[in-house]
Amino acid sequence: MQRLLRKILGLFIMLQCVGIMALESPVLTLPLMKKAPSIDGNISEEEWKYAAKMQGSCWNKTGQIGTLYPAEMFFWVGADRKHFYIAVKRAVGPAKLMNRVLPNPDINPNTFSDDSVETVIVPDLNAEKIKIIHSNINNRGAVYKMAKTKTDTLPFSGKWKTKGTVKDGWWNFEMAIPWKDLGVNGVPRKTGVRICMNWKRVQEWVQTAWEPEKTQFFGQTALPTIFWKNDAPVVQVHSVREYNGSVVKDGKITIFNPSGKDLSVRVNYHFFPVSSHDFKLNRVYTIPAGKTEVIMLSGGPLHRNESLTWKLHVTSVDGKEKYYVREYFSRPAESANVFLLKKDNDNRISFSFAYYPSYRKMLFRANVGTVTDKSQLKDLKAVVRYNRRTIAEIPFGKSMKNGECLSKYDTPDFGEYIQKGDTSAVFHVDFYSNGKKVATQQFEHHIFPWTGNRIGKSDIIVPPFTGVKWEKNTVKVLLREHLLNSIGLPGQIVAKDGKILKDKGFILEASIDGKRYEAKGSLKVSKKGKSFLNTESGWKAGALEGSSSVKWDQDGMAEWILSLKKGAVVDSLKLKITLDNSLVDLMHTCGDGARINYAGSVPGGSGKIWDSSKVVRIGMRDYVPYIWLGSDEQGLSVFGENDKNWVTAKGVPEFELFRDGDKLTLVLNLIAKKTKLSSDRKIRLGFMATPVKPMPKDFRRWNAWAHFSNGVNREMVKQGYFKYSTNLLGSGWYFGTITACSDVYPADFEFLRKMAEARKTGVRPDRYILDYWKKYSPGDARTNNRRVHYLNGFNRAMSLGNENIFYYNARGARFKGTPEGRFYLNEWYKGAVADREVMDIVSYDLDPAESYRDYAVWWYKKTFETGAMDQLYWDDVFLSSNFNLVGTDAYLRDDGSIQPASGLFNMRELVRRSAYMVAEMKRENRSMIHMTSTNIMPIISYGRQHFDWEENLGFIDFQDRHTRDYIRAMSHGRQSGNFPVMLVAFTANPRKDLSPEKYRHWIRTAAGVMLTHELRWHKNFDEFWAALKQLFDCGYATDDSKVYNYWQKDYPVKITGGETSSLFSVRKNDAVLMVCDWSNGGNYTAFIDKKVLGFSVNMKAVDVETGKELPVQGNKINFSLKKHDFIIIKLIKR
């Protein structure tokens, strides 16, 4: 029976691996448009005659990739010498468009919540430095834009003209983008553009795209391509052959010849259904000058809802020039079923509310910005009731500039309404307009056993940290000492035996009546424990008075609360932080998002060299939540939630960086214009010096991770090359959850106990797994995928690794489907107010507030106690704007919009509290944090491993992905002391999609870049692990070796001939050198400092891969490298 069960499970897995045929990405060749179309939201076929026309957009959804979305859509692409043009015409259902976001002159991140057109434009694909422009635009013209290069994300603005209209069941949208805004002069030869549609008022929110392949969104793989050529024909698809209602409708295309001479083209059309006969057309058409050829695309019979593949290639006769290429799969016949049937009027008032049980507060919102009938605005109120009993009536305030009315309400303890023996109660909110009840919503109040627990809140030492010590105004933590000034801020910091500050270090400086005053005070320790130390100081700066309190944590983070007393008139207030310029060559800044952040070298020059306008933000204005300045290890980070209680001024950046000789000064403009402080103010900031902690002992012999092991990696694990290996269960499904990334406990906790038992016995409980499938994964569209994960969770947990790491999403939650989520929706969701009727599963919108941390650590601990889990993994710890006005530092600006909080301190506390919990359980903490592009010290300091490079950059050389300075500032782990693992995401299969020669080159660029920076890969590519094995076999990372990195000041190797990265390991009788090319290849010479060698300088050098001896002269080794290739050289005594 057991054998039969295993066969069933094996067959099930095999069936999931069956693929479908690959489709070619779109290609166009187009002439320039003779006359610019009018951007008025009325698409005229005549105006768009010179533009290519496409029908349909492909589903970007697992199981539907490459299939046309059922709802009808047409779009056009064209250009003239001044502008790039896009038009979209798509069907609109009875519920019309989601169209709530009003245009903002700065940024419009919330356009993604509306029906919108999203584009990724690579203006010039032949440019030496590729630039990528990302935008998202709704029908009102609210535009979100940013720019990317291969290595950086940049702020972007431009004078784009857009217009949309909704009429007769269609949304018509037109846009004109100046080529100059895209950074090109004139029309480039080749442009890439990804055109997507975000559908909101449909049964399931979805994104569709022009291309038929789900690929890296900002990459060039599968990117639709347009060539610009004046004598090219214009192909327009007006309809495709499909089953329409009760009949089969033929397709129709037109080919317009705009040139002054006859043009011959080849039309290659292939229409093949799954069961009906296919139809092929391969014919040459000669189109007279200035004329249009109409071609009907017919075929054989077609059954209702029959799947089919549609391919159209219009090319030159010889096929060398591609004028129009489009391929996709069929779509279901009943296209109208995708739309929501409920009619929704954008001119009505939209009511919503938020309930914050931990704070006993409610927030009510009425969106009246789109209301034209002003009588609706009379007597707006919300009524809270329990059954028929009215608890409170709350009138709405006046409408703000952004079209919203807000009201707050301090609630009673709703727990008192819960009946004896129950643990929950349901309440209702009725909304009234003009004396009439117009809407009713409900919320719940619950009592949970984990609420307010003390797990992870002990005052204990968490290894490897050593607590906080106080000695002669100096705060001492692991690897760092902070000599404090009279207001409790560092006057000097010694980090790893080096002083990093200059002059007076931190200075708080007020300007009053044209005079400058430095804040002075008297410092005292107010509270001290094993793991923390608090200081307080009252201070004065001229007529300005206040207080300063700092809480120091054992990881070295300082949380500073600056209090300002009301009354003084201040010209400006600045915090100046002066660092030693000779120690700072790297910089990392973070906005409120992932994959948008800068890491690399500090800008050159003197005077002002940088300001906060250079940072990309999604929901914030001007504020920068995280700035780090330093070298590979030593440095200083400055961070916070937002600029709450700052006084900002137009034209004055909130952060500025100045260089003056040997000094580098970061200036925070806390008060940027003349201000009378009419009330007390509090400003919160944080500081943290690096390195935070040493790298783990023997980290070079760690492996990530064993469950992927086969081939070389598996043999290395078996042969004992690694001292520590892990198994990552990289989805909640692996340990039995309902959702892949939004739960913290399984559907049945017995799943974990069975997994722990299987780890001990080595026997997988197949009968239990089959029963689990039937009970918790029946009839779901993703059932098969979920079932595969349920099974493989046991396989991974039982594999070679020392420890199991369980996946948790730090920004994911299931709201509607869990009582915890329904109750704490508004405390945990990062929006100002969530739609309680529809808000369910989120993957990126959770903010781990204190009540969430109570919930999470309670379940983490229970999971640890089963024996199934050994370590924690958090996905998505990036900063993300939180617009929640209760419980965060988010606040209302003068224009009524919300300046969000970054969520930094909440995210830190989730990781920190979990580390304390692990220490309380007497376990060793090796938790892993996924921090792609967000190397934020206060968040990742309590981790021990980090996960980077999930950036979907396709199969470009690794030297072109990131600069060496980026890797040093972001990835190699030396500032945080975390073991660095690279994810390197890509959606395709490199072995399958690249030729053997290109694959070998690509994989060697990966191995060279990663290994010379001592990064590890989670992927099982033999070539990478074979190179690491060669390093180990040559003595790298043995107990008696010393390893040098090329960025060290005492690096004993000098390499000439081009740009390189390298790694050097030396023992008494041998050494090994790995060199990776960052130029175009060529001849190189390595000069070895003979003082570091344990043997005579009369040495022998051997290319480890080929076994060939290399030319040596004294301490010089000569060798050659191909572009972006690497070499491993073993040095031995001759």
Are residue 593 and residue 677 in the same domain, yes or no?
yes
Are residue 373 and residue 268 in the same domain, yes or no?
no
Residue 400: the pLDDT is 66
Residue 398: the pLDDT is 77
The answer, yes or no, to whether residue 11 has pLDDT greater than 60, is no
pLDDT digits (tens, 9 = 90+) for 314-333: 999 999 999 999 998 875 54
Are residue 512 and residue 629 in the same domain, yes or no?
yes
Region 3-19 average pLDDT: 48
Q: Which own/partner contact pairs does 199-202 have at CB distance under 8 Å and 24+ positions apart?
A: 199/69, 199/71, 199/115, 199/338, 200/97, 200/98, 200/113, 200/114, 200/115, 201/92, 201/93, 201/95, 201/96, 201/97, 201/98, 201/115, 201/339, 201/340, 201/344, 202/71, 202/93, 202/338, 202/339, 202/340
Least confident piece of the model among 141-145, 165-169, 965-969, 1043-1047: 141-145
For 773, the enclosing helix (H) or strand (E) is: helix 766-776
Residue 708: the pLDDT is 59
Are residue 230 and residue 258 in the same domain, yes or no?
yes
The answer, yes or no, to whether residue 919 has pLDDT greater than 60, is yes
The answer, yes or no, to whether residue 239 has pLDDT greater than 90, is no
Q: Locate tokens 């010479």: which residue? A: 1085
Residue with the bigger pLDDT between 508 and 1133: it is 508
Are residue 102 and residue 161 in the same domain, yes or no?
yes
> Helix-strand-coil percent breakdown of the chain, rounded to 5?
15, 40, 45
The answer, yes or no, to whether residue 20 has pLDDT greater than 50, is no
The answer, yes or no, to whether residue 335 has pLDDT greater than 80, is no
Residue 413: the pLDDT is 95
- Asked if residue 465 is part of any domain, the answer here is no
Q: What are phi and psi of 171, to 5 degrees?
A: -100, 120
- Asked if residue 947 is part of any domain, the answer here is no
Residue with the bigger pLDDT between 651 and 994: it is 651
**868 falls in which pLDDT band (50, 70, 90)?**
very high
Q: Residue 945 and residue 689: Cα distance in Å, rounded?
A: 19
For 754, the enclosing helix (H) or strand (E) is: helix 750-761
Residue with the bigger pLDDT between 396 and 1128: it is 1128
Residue 802: the pLDDT is 79
Region 648-665 average pLDDT: 97
Q: What is the mean pLDDT of the chain?
A: 90
Q: Residue 516 and residue 774: Cα distance in Å, rounded?
A: 73
The answer, yes or no, to whether residue 5 has pLDDT greater than 80, is no
Nearest CA among 688, 683, 689, 650 for reference residue 668: 683
Rg of the chain taking only CA atoms, in angstroms: 31
Residue 19: the pLDDT is 40
pLDDT digits (tens, 9 = 90+) for 137-167: 999 998 888 887 766 777 777 789 999 999 9
The answer, yes or no, to whether residue 764 has pLDDT greater than 90, is yes
Residue 201: the pLDDT is 86
Domain at 260, CATH number: 2.60.40.1190
Region 116-123 average pLDDT: 94
Residue 186, burial from CB neighbour count under 10 angstroms (0-12, 13-18, 19+): exposed
- Asked if residue 121 is part of any domain, the answer here is yes
Number of domains in the chain: 5
The answer, yes or no, to whether residue 753 has pLDDT greater than 80, is yes
Residue 18: the pLDDT is 38
Region 611-616 average pLDDT: 91
Residue 16: the pLDDT is 46
Are residue 378 and residue 331 in the same domain, yes or no?
no
Residue 1090: the pLDDT is 87
> Domain range spanning residue 500?
475-690
Amino acid identity of residue 948, one-letter, is D
Residue with the bigger pLDDT between 580 and 999: it is 580
Are residue 186 and residue 222 in the same domain, yes or no?
yes
Region 3-22 average pLDDT: 50
Residue with the bigger pLDDT between 689 and 222: it is 689
Among 308, 338, 368, which residue terminates a domain?
338
**783 falls in which pLDDT band (50, 70, 90)?**
low
Q: Residue 112 and residue 134: Cα distance in Å, rounded?
A: 12
Let me know how long the chain is.
1134
Residue 469: the pLDDT is 98
Region 619-639 average pLDDT: 96
Residue 528: the pLDDT is 98
Residue 1018: the pLDDT is 76
Under 8 Å between Cβ of 924 and 894: no
Residue with the bigger pLDDT between 843 and 1012: it is 1012
Nearest CA among 71, 56, 58 for reference residue 209: 58
- pLDDT over 70 percentage in the chain: 91
Region 964-970 average pLDDT: 98
Domain at 394, CATH number: 2.60.40.1930
Domain at 1102, CATH number: 2.60.40.1180
pLDDT digits (tens, 9 = 90+) for 78-89: 999 999 999 999
- Asked if residue 15 is part of any domain, the answer here is no
Among 905, 925, 945, which residue terminates a domain?
925
Region 1128-1132 average pLDDT: 97
pLDDT digits (tens, 9 = 90+) for 463-488: 999 999 999 999 999 999 999 999 99
Region 225-243 average pLDDT: 89
Are residue 304 and residue 369 in the same domain, yes or no?
no
Residue 684: the pLDDT is 99
pLDDT digits (tens, 9 = 90+) for 707-720: 555 678 888 888 89
- Asked if residue 700 is part of any domain, the answer here is no
Region 400-412 average pLDDT: 83
| Strands 871-875 vs 803-809: parallel, antiparallel or unpaired | parallel
Are residue 678 and residue 729 in the same domain, yes or no?
no
Among 310, 338, 366, which residue terminates a domain?
338
The answer, yes or no, to whether residue 441 has pLDDT greater than 90, is yes
The answer, yes or no, to whether residue 799 has pLDDT greater than 90, is no
- pLDDT over 90 percentage in the chain: 70
Residue 23: the pLDDT is 86
Residue 15: the pLDDT is 44
- Asked if residue 986 is part of any domain, the answer here is no
For 860, the enclosing helix (H) or strand (E) is: helix 850-866
Residue 402: the pLDDT is 64
Nearest 5°: CA angle at 610, between 604 and 611? 175
Are residue 328 and residue 357 in the same domain, yes or no?
no
For 742, how many CA atoms within 13 A lie in the half-sphere containing its CB?
Answer: 21
For 772, the enclosing helix (H) or strand (E) is: helix 766-776
Domain at 595, CATH number: 2.70.98.30
The answer, yes or no, to whether residue 492 has pLDDT greater than 90, is yes
DSSP conformational letter for 968: I
> Which of the given ranges, 368-382, 986-1000, 1086-1100, has the highest pLDDT on average?
1086-1100
- Asked if residue 17 is part of any domain, the answer here is no
The answer, yes or no, to whether residue 14 has pLDDT greater than 50, is no
Residue with the bigger pLDDT between 1126 and 186: it is 1126
Are residue 330 and residue 356 in the same domain, yes or no?
no
Least confident piece of the model among 688-697, 764-773, 792-801: 792-801
- Asked if residue 466 is part of any domain, the answer here is no
Residue 427: the pLDDT is 96
Q: Residue 25 and residue 954: Cα distance in Å, rounded?
A: 15
> Which of the given ranges, 7-21, 316-330, 414-428, 635-649, has the highest pLDDT on average?
635-649
Are residue 867 and residue 819 in the same domain, yes or no?
yes
Nearest CA among 386, 565, 459 for reference residue 916: 459
Residue 9: the pLDDT is 54
